[in-house]
A = this chain, B = another copy of it.
Amino acid sequence: MPITITDIIEAHKRISFRINRTPVLTSSQINSLVGAKLFFKCENFQRVGAFKYRGATNAILLLPKEKLAKGVATHSSGNHAQALALAAREIGVPAYIVMPSNSPKVKIDAVRDYGAEITFCEPNLKARESTLKRIVSETGAEFVHPYNREEIIAGQGTAALELLSDYPELDVVLAPVGGGGLLSGTAICSKGINPSIKVYAAEPKGADDAHSSFYSDTLVPSTNPKTICDGLLTSLGELNYGYIKQYVDDILLVEDNEILSAMRLIYERMKIVVEPSSAVVLAAVIRYKKLFADKNVGLIISGGNVDLQSFFDSYKAKL
């Protein structure tokens, strides 16, 4: 049965003592720049630095007892890996993570620090899936898909639930779309609370499979995506597609250079560290200004796990 706002409320009760209630920040400078009132739900301050911790925690807590002890497994190059690793450790079960060998070092280190067992594979979907299959059959661990799973979607929807409980007067809610876990959770939640709220997705033009799928009658897979948003490279999930078709009003495409400018605005004006996949929502507000004029707009800032090596290298050069 499809999930509803009730599942998201239940998920929130289940996970609320394990997650951070992240702050909602505003910037009068950015507001006057875009001509709207923006409310940034800062999941970069979530545990592991991304909203993914919500879904992972919810999914693990919903496993049947006999499954639980055997642990969880997934393939992910990014935030889902960290989230599942930490959630598993906190709940006291093993986590097995398959990571592409070219994953950013900062993410590999984080997964290892959270105590997960990492297996590296070739950086392609086939290798990831076959390696994961082997791990699952060897360990009996439960595969927790990063987005194509009801419990994950319900968990991710809890960010919007908090945002709308803090700011019930929002006219619009915006979330980035990659696999669609955050977006479908956000849309189910927002429309469930107030059917007249507009829900938009923001997507990089170089990885526009959600946009293509949205405007066709079938799921269009992501082929050869190219964007600085490393969290949004993946194809939309089957389940997510259904919810997005039902609840999302539109998918707004933006260019990478627009995402970069929006990201810089966030760093310089708001003094917070966000990853490119998060800045895509502000880029959409700036590009499609008219859609948001004078509105109260909620933006889900998905995470802050970004590789700062070049920044610190430039300082080291000065020592």
Contacts and interface: CB of A to CB of B under 8 A. Distances in A.
A51 interface: no
A184 interface: no
A273 interface: yes
A42 to B, nearest CB: 8
Contacts of A192: none
Contacts of A268: 106, 273, 308
Contact of A228 (B23, B106, B267, B319): B319
A275 to B, nearest CB: 10
Range, interface on chain A: 20 to 34
Given A260-B315, A308-B264, A271 B23 contact: no
A273 B273 contact: yes
Contacts of A228: 315, 318-319
A17 interface: no
A256 B319 contact: yes
A103 interface: no
A263 B318 CA distance: 15
Contact of A271 (B257, B272, B276, B311): B272
A224 interface: no
B310 A276 contact: no
A32 B268 CA distance: 29
Closest 6 CB pairs of A and B: A310-B314, A271-B304, A311-B311, A271-B273, A44-B271, A256-B319
16 contacts: A45-B271, A49-B271, A228-B319, A260-B315, A260-B319, A263-B312, A267-B273, A267-B311, A268-B273, A268-B308, A271-B304, A272-B272, A273-B273, A308-B311, A310-B314, A311-B311
